[in-house]
Amino acid sequence: MPLYRDEAIVLRTHKLGEADRIVTVLSRRLGKLRMVGKGVRRTKSRFGARLEPGMHIDVQCYEGRNLDTVTQVETLDSWGETISRDYRSWTSAVAVLETCDRLTEEREPALQQYLLLSGALRAMAERDHDAGLVLDAYLLRAMAIGGYAPSFHDCAKCGAPGPHRAFHVAAGGVVCPVCRPPGSAAPAPETLRLLAALLAGDWAPADASDDRHRHEGSGLTAAFLQWHLERGIRSLRMVER
């Protein structure tokens, strides 16, 4: 199919030559795609501003040997532009986009990841919930879709019914006293309940949570994510906690 059209979210961009840009998107049907926007860095470009991170677009491309070429772009939602007005929301959104990029493979359909990403960016743009909570909810749920669902109640190793207090990143979540490895963390019960709520999308208790439990939960979430991805998410260091 030399010419195709799909709904997509821009994940990242980088410069190519003097006026072009390579754009990485997650599309609804086709998964992650890399394409060239020719001349989009020129001030007179017709759609340069639409190919920025966080933008929700309808894009038409011509399929190439190595990189596809953008021929037409229509804006569906200006999430990136709206989120960028608030620094904390923007750094959280950048971490979401980087994580999505790491969890998806090129040309592999990933509808669940696409829907989760669009929901997270929409929530940040509309200020439905605290940006930090949306970020952590996204990270936990994206990992679950990727096959790394953490346990916050029953033992992650033997399945013993919880609740349990110890948390071990490498084990996959909370662990019982018998399975508890050395060096396990002992977060507050409220923190574990908060993380369980974020994983389940239960926003009422999450919105009512205390700041200290949010802070502790963010640390556990970041550690869990980066351990199982086996590499760091650079943008997480920029997020205000």
Number of domains in the chain: 2
Query: Domain boundary residue among 77, 96, 112?
Result: 77
Task: Please check the confidence at residue 240 and state whether its pLDDT lies above 80.
Answer: no
For 201: left if phi > 0, alpha if psi spans -120 to 50, otherwise beta; the answer is left
Q: How far apart are CA 143 and CA 158, in angstroms?
A: 21
Asked if 24 and 34 touch (Cβ cutoff 8 Å), the reply is yes
Asked if 124 and 84 touch (Cβ cutoff 8 Å), the reply is no
Asked if 183 and 223 touch (Cβ cutoff 8 Å), the reply is no
| Structure tokens, 122 | 């929409």
CATH code where residue 18 lies: 2.40.50.140
**Residue 102: predicted pLDDT:** 94
How do residues 30-78 score in pLDDT, each as one tens digit?
999 999 998 888 877 777 789 999 999 999 999 888 889 999 999 999 9
**Residue 1: predicted pLDDT:** 55
Split at pLDDT 50, 70, 90, the class of 84 is very high
| Structure tokens, 186 | 């002992």
Short-list 189, 191, 233, CA closest to 215: 191
**Higher per-residue pLDDT: 156 or 45:** 156
Split at pLDDT 50, 70, 90, the class of 241 is low
**Residue 195: predicted pLDDT:** 98
Verify that 169 and 53 share a domain, yes or no: no
Verify that 68 and 95 share a domain, yes or no: no
Verify that 17 and 135 share a domain, yes or no: no
Task: Please check the confidence at residue 25 and state whether its pLDDT lies above 90.
Answer: yes
How do residues 159-205 score in pLDDT, each as one tens digit?
999 899 999 999 999 999 999 999 999 999 999 999 999 999 999 99
Interhelix angle 189-200/131-145, rounded to 10 degrees, is 70
What is the Cα 120 distance to its own chain's centre? 8
The boundaries of the domain holding residue 89 are 84-238
Asked if 157 and 238 touch (Cβ cutoff 8 Å), the reply is no
Q: Is the peptide bond before 177 cis (omega within 30 degrees of 0)?
A: no
The average pLDDT across 74-90 equals 94
The average pLDDT across 116-141 equals 97
Verify that 197 and 89 share a domain, yes or no: yes
Task: Please check the confidence at residue 118 and state whether its pLDDT lies above 80.
Answer: yes
One-letter amino acid for residue 127 of the chain = R
The average pLDDT across 217-236 equals 91
Verify that 179 and 225 share a domain, yes or no: yes
Query: Domain boundary residue among 77, 108, 124?
Result: 77
b/e 179-214 (16+ beta carbons within 10 angstroms → b): bbeeebeebeebbbbbbbbbbeeebeebeebeeebb
State in Å, rounded, how far the first CA of the chain is from the last one.
46
CATH code where residue 193 lies: 1.20.1440.120
